[in-house]
A and B are shown apart, each in its own frame.
Chain A
């Protein structure tokens, strides 16, 4: 499979996850919080291919999240948090073998780190609507919802990414 095709598939994957997150799961939100599918995609990338690749996927997915309508915040904030999430998740994965509790632990920590970094950048930039109370209201729900969806989403994405690149690992 050529590099171009591989990049195209990952791009389509990113667009699909962001669309699902914005248009479909917004109708199934819990207190306004939707499952962070892009974050789950980045974690799956980290599990399959390690920190560098996941950071790159995180950058791309985060940038789409930042720019896709109806996003109205300063661009680059989701990109930054998903780059960090991808890198950290890639570092803590155990080599090649992924256990279920281990993956769920990574998902929970990643959801916490991702949402927190996004909220922190908002606080630093003094964006309206963000204060510490709001962050503490949103972060636990986000972590819970991501954990709930992880067993459904991550295996599918893992399968797709492994099919995309079966032998090589970096």
Chain B
């Protein structure tokens, strides 16, 4: 019995050392020059399509949580009807999910029309778990569809996030509520500029914190916040609605007032999103005021 624990302890030591080495290598270098990045890209190239395939194949199952009522009713039906019924139910579930997708897609198409941006619609195929303490999702469009890092991601409700990495088939999107996210924002009424920080909350939905550049102005509850935009539209294009001011907090210790922003996008039920790949020519006047919504 004696040699076995010794050997297993040596193995444990080696594995822990390997983990610490990987953590150190990845943490020491920045997010862009990490030596782990090629490995990450390779795994994403394999697992991204797998995730996309699993989502597509199990779409009827995924839409089950909203249909528990149907399942309870089915139990009361007699044995003959059940077989026929379950196939019809399955079809109905798929149809419902498809109708929902249709609505989201047309919303995105409308957004693209009014704002003058060219967008690539994409499907969310994987969501980072709360145990990982980060708010990221995988979408099923990659560099082969023109999706690159630092592009804006929106849906019909407003700003979703930005692309942080992309392989040929899939891309990873950092949601605006993640603790790493910072956005330049503009208040809809006063046109004041400020910065929005994700609170990194791990619950179903997150909020953002807004602090204005001008200390003398205080945001009003109910005011909308839009993206301010940056050079060449990277990482965020201007004029995309982000959310609404729900409360304003002033602390005597700080010069600026902080407002809590409730995002328009429902991050717990993200499905179809759009990546803004380019700006159509001649649409600059449209995005300058940014108040089409």
Contacts and interface: CB of A to CB of B under 8 A. Distances in A.
A87 B12 contact: yes
Interface residues of B, number: 63
Q: Is the interface of A mostly helix, strand, loop or mixed?
A: helix
Chain A contact residues (Cβ within 8 angstroms of B): what range?
35 or more
Interface in A14-48: 15, 18-24, 26-29, 31-34, 36
Given A19-B51, A24-B54, A75-B36, A129 B178 contact: yes
A28 B44 contact: no
Interface string B39-54: 1100110011011001
A33 B22 contact: no
B4 A170 contact: yes
B131 A26 contact: no
Contacts of A58: 15
Contacts of A165: none
A80 B48 CA distance: 23
A59 B129 contact: no
Contacts of B135: 129
Contacts of B213: none
B183 to A, nearest CB: 14
B27 A74 contact: yes
Given A19-B47, A22-B138, A71 B132 contact: yes
Contacts of A22: 51, 126-129, 138
Contacts of A159: none
25 contacts: A15-B47, A20-B54, A22-B128, A29-B130, A32-B203, A51-B12, A59-B15, A64-B43, A64-B47, A66-B22, A69-B43, A69-B170, A70-B127, A72-B164, A72-B180, A73-B132, A73-B133, A75-B23, A75-B39, A80-B23, A83-B15, A90-B8, A115-B131, A129-B198, A130-B200
